[in-house]
Structure 1
Amino acid sequence: MQVIITAVGPDHRGLADPIVHYVATAGANIYEIQMYDHDSERLFAMLVRIEWPDDEEPVAILRERMTEIGRLKGLSVRVWARNEHSRPPRLAICTTYRPEPALAILRDIRDGRLKADPAVMIGNRNACRGLAEQFGIDFHNVGDDRGTPDNRRMAELFDEYDVDYIVLARYMRILPPRICWEFAGGRIINLHHGLLPSFPGFRPYQDAYTRHMLTYGATIHFIVPELDAGEQIIHQSTFDVFPGTPLEEIIRLGESDHEPRCLAEGLRRVVDREVELHFHRVVRVQR
């Protein structure tokens, strides 16, 4: 069974050794190890992707062992295996203002096109609370009066609801590096309202418009700490406009219809196990 272990905490010596030693001596095949030392934050982050012999030791026991190592070393350790449970994957849908992307996900789940469980909706604004109530989903606002999110509370909610995937459905805040590594390995999926890598940042419609583009689009990608990096693309789609189309109309077309459909398709590819993230690159899953 494929298992992803992440460990994040204050940087000091000897953090990786006990984790690697335990999984290696238990008979796991180690497919990927990534370690990061963020000097400016004195933050250590590590990801290990393994093939775990779950017929000899259940993933739940591995999790207990890793949690104990984390306690001894001062690390936040998480053990995640997509196939540990027979249930559909659980989603945390994160929003700010626009409800359309989250609505597209919820409708696809309701209609059976997306085989997932919307475990929780989290926002840094209350704009989508009514949508959560409409579909009977718990909603948590982690933002203050200015929309600044409590990122630690956000991570606590991901754990509390035992989510498999975190979906940034037009969530208009940048996740800090710590959360990106705590839930690394292809668990965080973002809707970017522009075509990457050509139009990153917060104003991709405006940037494309100033370059007189007639083709616009959206990108669904896995999150890694580098903002809107270009090698984690799950799905892209485009739409064309006629010359002279006002920017306001282009944005309306993108936000109301195109972005939601793009997100729903990209998320389906992840949920259906068509793609995964290995070494920060999207790979097609061999069946």
Structure 2
Amino acid sequence: MSQLQVLTLTCDDRPGVVAAVATGLTALGANISESSQFWDRTSNRFFMRLAVEGDESLSSASIEDALKPATDRFGLWVQTVDARRRPKIIILVSKFDHAMLDLLYQIKVGWLNADVVAIVSNHEDSREIAEREGIAYHYWPVCRANKTAQEKKVLDLVLQTGTELVILARYMQVLSDDLSTRLFGKIINIHHSFLPSFKGAKPYHQAYARGVKLIGATAHYVTPDLDEGPIIEQETERVTHAMSAEDFVATGRDIESRVLARAVKLHLERRIMLSGNKTIVFSN
């Protein structure tokens, strides 16, 4: 049975990196079915994503062995994952469930390749949905007094379940610096605004009050700096003076769902690489 592995690689840019990687994979008998690369001139970092096919002997270990001459020569950082494996995810949600519902649907129809191991909420509103889908539901209210303990339960759940990605699907709580740092690169948030404009609460109402002509949503990795994490995906839609603030919100809900689902897909397929506070996104 053929195997499919996805490799992400980065190092300081130097001539010969691509050739060395290709030579190592060829010696292994692997076939490169997809390749994307980018040279960030400002940092002189080279980024590459490869999809590699081979026989049953192809594995992360065999690829790492085959690429050892390249890693030693270029200081190459390599990560390899089985493309057919279904990553485990946890969804955090508050009262607005539209983005969560779209994620569950996209998983159900096979567009997203993942297993939701739990839904965590500070409200009871989504329990019926979770039970109908056969997903463990954790109702963990949050207040100033119990925030640290509640976040420890979230982190423990991530570790116990082997979760690789936490998704804030309109989870209306600000994560602590500690949790944001410990799970950096593993938490995606959907912000109901086209960042960096209109941060914080009620951005659509802020946009309405300013009479903007475009509204949007932003999916980004969570960092200790609120709404400042590396941006993964964004989308805008035109609005008019004739629309109400509620129309803005309704339009925004649709955008949020689409943007979050695309960002999650990009992450699950290992198409995102971090470069400082920016992302390198290799679209399919």
Listed one character per residue, the Cα deviations across residues 56-90 of structure 1 (whole Å, up to 9, x for unaligned) are 9x9xxxxxxxxxxxxxxxxxxxxxx7727962111
Q: Are positions 1:258 and 2:255 aligned together?
A: yes
Amino acid at match of 1:276: M
Identify unmatched segments of 5+ residues in structure 1: 4-53, 59-80
Identify unmatched segments of 5+ residues in structure 2: 1-6, 10-59, 65-78
Structure 2 residue aligned with 1:183: 183
Cα distance change of structure 1 residues 218 and 85 upon mapping to structure 2, 3 Å threshold: closer
SS of the residue 1:92 aligns to? strand
CA distance in 2, matches of 1:159, 1:211: 44
Structure 2 residue aligned with 1:42: none
Equivalent positions of 1:92-103 (< 5 A) are 92-103=90-101
CA distance in 2, matches of 1:223, 1:190: 6
CA distance in 2, matches of 1:146, 1:181: 19
CA distance in 2, matches of 1:176, 1:82: 30
CA contact (8 A) 1:124 1:147 kept: no
Instruction: Tell which structure's C-alpha radius of gyration is larger.
Output: 2
Equivalent positions of 1:78-93 (< 5 A) are 83=81, 87-93=85-91
CA contact (8 A) 2:87 2:114 kept: yes
Cα distance change of structure 1 residues 249 and 268 upon mapping to structure 2, 3 Å threshold: same
Q: Are positions 1:160 and 2:160 aligned together?
A: yes
Report percent identity of matched pairs. 29
CA distance in 1, matches of 2:98, 2:145: 19
Residue 286 of structure 1 and its aligned partner are, at CA, apart by: 10
Cα distance change of structure 1 residues 239 and 181 upon mapping to structure 2, 3 Å threshold: same
Q: Are positions 1:220 and 2:219 aligned together?
A: yes
The structure 1 segments of at least 4 consecutive aligned residues displaced by more than 6 Å after TM superposition are 145-148
Structure 2 residue aligned with 1:126: 124
CA distance in 2, matches of 1:276, 1:127: 35
Length-normalised TM-score, structure 2: 0.67
Q: Are positions 1:273 and 2:270 aligned together?
A: yes
Listed one character per residue, the Cα deviations across residues 17-70 of structure 1 (whole Å, up to 9, x for unaligned) are xxxxxxxxxxxxxxxxxxxxxxxxxxxxxxxxxxxxx749x9xxxxxxxxxxxx
CA contact (8 A) 2:232 2:281 kept: no
CA distance in 1, matches of 2:107, 2:215: 27
CA distance in 1, matches of 2:139, 2:116: 16
Residue 172 of structure 1 and its aligned partner are, at CA, apart by: 0.3
What is the RMSD computed on CA atoms of the aligned residues?
Answer: 2.7
Cα distance change of structure 1 residues 253 and 112 upon mapping to structure 2, 3 Å threshold: same
Q: Aligned pairs, how many? A: 211
CA contact (8 A) 1:195 1:217 kept: yes
Structure 1 residue aligned with 2:243: 245
CA contact (8 A) 2:266 2:283 kept: no
CA contact (8 A) 1:101 1:259 kept: yes
Residue 276 of structure 1 and its aligned partner are, at CA, apart by: 2.5
CA distance in 2, matches of 1:130, 1:82: 37
Residue 278 of structure 1 and its aligned partner are, at CA, apart by: 3.6
